A and B are shown apart, each in its own frame.
Chain A
Amino acid sequence: MTVPPLVSLTARRIGASLITLFFVSLAVFGIAQLMEGDVAEAILGQSATPEALAGLRAAMHLDQPAWARYLDWAGGVLVGDPGRSLITGLPVWEMIAARLGNSLTLAGLTALVSVPLALLLGIVAAVKRGTAFDRAISIATIGVVSVPEFLIATLAVMLFAVTLRWLPALSSTRDVHSMWDLLRVFALPVFSLACFVMAQMVRMTRAAVIDALDTSYAEAARLKGCSPARVVLRHALPNAVGPIANAIALSLSTLLGGVIVVEIIFNYPGVARLMVDAVATRDLPLVQTVAIIFCIAYLLLVTTADVVAILANPRLRHR
């Protein structure tokens, strides 16, 4: 097996990603400048008199020109130190690190639950396409995403935490001491998130598997006497990996930044809320750094999906 094409391709992708990141940092910084208000106004709130504002701004070095602040921040990010939060004065990285861990845990567990389930549902729907079962899965997945996630999450809490008292209403990683705790603490948020991310994966899996099942080699496999399960798992699936991986990557990329409702309802300290807080208080070093982290996560997932697609395709793997 020759590796070089893969390596060079991956390297090229990483290079492109770095350039993208640079532009993202510019764009995020630019947008942040366009936002009305600044951190001094946010701190003072109702009591923001002009002289109080001017004093606080000077104390926080906000009176420097924008490009100087950008260079300061971007330079810091490059050497791994994105500076200090304007609000708390803590190192930005310290504030993010703890919450990023939490978010990754939640996202990871959700992926662990939703990806296999979505694959299963998508595959079964593809195999039984056109049947009542297929339609039921399609209606159910659309129905579930179409219910606002705060409603799903709240209903789940009311049922499992308030009425049945099986699970906690809040998810605090601090209270996790055993595997059992972990299951209990994460059951509801993971459930709510899974409802949200599964639809896209189920639909894409179904479509990709159907495509693969329509090919001559799938027909040939049937004519060899393969059982339907074997046709799907051994013949169709490996060829559908590319689009499926792409859909999974896109769905999962929403898990870090797009889960604000779930973090709020379960009082889960993750990066999404950190981001919203930071935007609300115009804590720009924090906002920008979190945005860059989201972007890195996104690029990482998408690139991984591309590489997986290449690995799954011997035509690309062996040139």
Chain B
Amino acid sequence: MTAPLARIEHLRITATGDDGREIVIVPDATLSVAPGEVLALIGESGSGKTTIALSLMGYARPGCHIAGGEIEVAGIRLDGADADTLRGLRGRTVAYVAQSAAAAFNPSLTIMAQVIEPALIHGTLDRAAAEEKAKALFRRLALPDPDGVGARYPHQVSGGQLQRLMAAMALITDPKLVIFDEPTTALDVTTQIEVLKAFKDAVRDLGTTAVYVTHDLSVVAQIADRIAVLRGGEVQELGPTDQILFAPRHDYSRALVAAAAPRAPAVAPALVDDRPLLELWGVVAGYGGTNHDGTPRTRILDGIDVSIRRGQVLGVIGESGCGKSTLARVAAGLHPPTAGRILLDGRPLSPIVRRRSRDELRRVQMVFQSADTALNPAVRVGAAIARPLAFYHGLDRRSARAEVARLLDLVRLPAALAGRLPGELSGGQKQRVNLARALAARPDLLLCDEVTSALDPVVAEAVLDLLIELRRELGLAYMFITHDLEIVRAISDDVLVLYAGRVAERVTRDGLGHGAHHPYTRLLTASVPELRPGWLEETPARDAGAAGGARMRAQGCSFQPRCPMAIDACAAEMPPMLIEDDRRVFCHRSVEMLTPA
């Protein structure tokens, strides 16, 4: 084996808590990356993946510091290196693609200025050459409008595109090592597939060495040469991809892989009854105020009908920006629709949260998509969970404390976390605190907006088990928003497919695997990565046109520009509803045409 490009030995990273206590995040980690290989760091959320990845740049997040061990990249020792050395190295020898590209782009600079900045700082290229190279990278990363995208500001570009732009920024200096930190976690499958494809091609073509952080084994299978399995800041197992995925040795690795295997669908409980619990009829909603005729300036949801019965799980899927979260916010009363009615138990439910009774509010709870911002950074975890207990159920402080501990345990979090502030949790931990808070209200309906997106398979499975159990025991109903089709298949009774703010299809879980489907549903199902190296190269979905930035069209089918089966009518007229016993599909083509051969 050649000399490693990067190695970490006996790395120890600690953080200082708010009260001055020292918290060990990474006790003792050792690993190395050979030139030209892609090493994946996998492990549960909070296991120190991001922390270790960042240490390869000689960097520790605020509040943390590198307390011991050796770090060497491209022959340079980073532990204890002076600021100049590190500055020369970062962005030049080692480049970083952040977990959330949206947050890592400076909102007030143009994309081009930020992408070429590393090249300019390190003097590898002059401005003109750098811009040329950036455009070439944009093209290689399959970004739409590669010549013009640079002039835009970050908020004018979709999340998936930003992730690729961030990769372009990392690659512009031809670094020896690129670190990808969960670059596709927040993306829907159709976008994810594109990003993955782009990364893989780039890494291969440029011969770059990469460290790829993720908790998604299917993604790992596509991209990694070797895998390091992390837990509690320690490397549990390190080996080639095939070995870890198909012959894991360590117990934890085995659990991880087992959890990633397709789940048996949950059995619908007896409690499901036919009375609808929540109904939305003809909902129209949008942002940016209303026009004179009362329609929203930017229409995000258009004519949505949804109904959820008691104890039923409705999965909602669709690509990023299609309006899934908006739908949940409408149901929660946070975003009054401009048209349409909401019913709870058949009785009208006010579209405005302020006009709803406390009991109505309790019965419909929402788990917010961004765990980060949905928790008050100044309120301790315990207090956050205790608030609904006091608010809806009038629990006193003492009984609330016991209940908080129980809830934390339900979502597989240690009771000690109750004393922490949200800033001291990892992404997945925050997500589960959010869930626990919603459960504390003892609702009838839970609006779950991407509750497992940041969780590793083991914990995600535990959380899903919990949800299914609650449904069985208490008859809890869910609107389950996700981009993970695997999960939708496993947990929902019905699936609602949204495209650009309109319903493309509603189908039962059992109907999902066969029969007639909207072309978009088909694209989605084909895009779910499989736990099988080489899938990425074979899947037909990889050539399905640019994802992201889908716009609702005033007339006609919004999917028409991307649709392989589009006919003239698609552009001009609203698609009709095709009804089969277990599905409703909104499409101009006939059921026969939509049924795969």
Contact = CB atoms under 8 A, between A and B. Distances in A.
Given A216-B98, A220-B96, A314-B153, A225 B89 contact: yes
Contacts of B105: 217, 220
B94 to A, nearest CB: 9
Nearest to A317: B153
A313 interface: yes
Contact of B103 (A216, A222, A235, A314): A216
A315 B155 contact: yes
B156 A318 contact: yes
A214 B156 contact: no
A239 interface: yes
Interface residues of B, number: 31
Interface in B58-95: 59, 61-62, 87-92, 95
B104 interface: yes
Contact of B104 (A220, A226, A314): A220
A47 interface: no
B106 A217 contact: yes
A225 B88 contact: yes
A95 interface: no
Nearest to B153: A314
B91 A224 contact: yes
B118 interface: yes
Nearest to A239: B108
Given A222-B59, A230-B121, A313 B107 contact: yes
Given A216-B98, A314-B155, A318-B153, A223 B103 contact: no
B377 to A, nearest CB: 12
B109 interface: yes
B175 to A, nearest CB: 10
B57 interface: yes
B503 interface: no
A221 B103 CA distance: 12
A266 to B, nearest CB: 41
A217 B162 CA distance: 13
Contacts of A216: 98, 100, 103-104
A238 B98 CA distance: 22
B122 interface: yes
Contact of A235 (B62, B95, B106): B106
Contacts of B96: 220, 223
A227 interface: yes
Contact of B106 (A221, A227, A312, A319): A221
B91 A239 contact: no
B180 to A, nearest CB: 13
Contact of A225 (B54, B87, B103): B87
A219 B156 CA distance: 22
A225 B57 CA distance: 10
Interface in A214-272: 214-217, 219-227, 230, 234-235, 238-239
A23 B169 CA distance: 54
A308 B105 CA distance: 21
A223 B108 contact: no
Contacts of B89: 225
Given A313-B108, A319-B288, 20 more contacts: A215-B103, A216-B103, A216-B104, A217-B103, A219-B104, A220-B106, A221-B106, A221-B117, A222-B59, A223-B91, A225-B92, A227-B87, A230-B121, A235-B109, A238-B106, A239-B107, A312-B108, A314-B108, A314-B155, A318-B153
7 contacts: A217-B103, A217-B106, A220-B106, A223-B59, A225-B90, A225-B118, A312-B108
Which 3 interchain pairs have the tightest Cβ spacing?
A: A225-B91, A224-B91, A216-B103
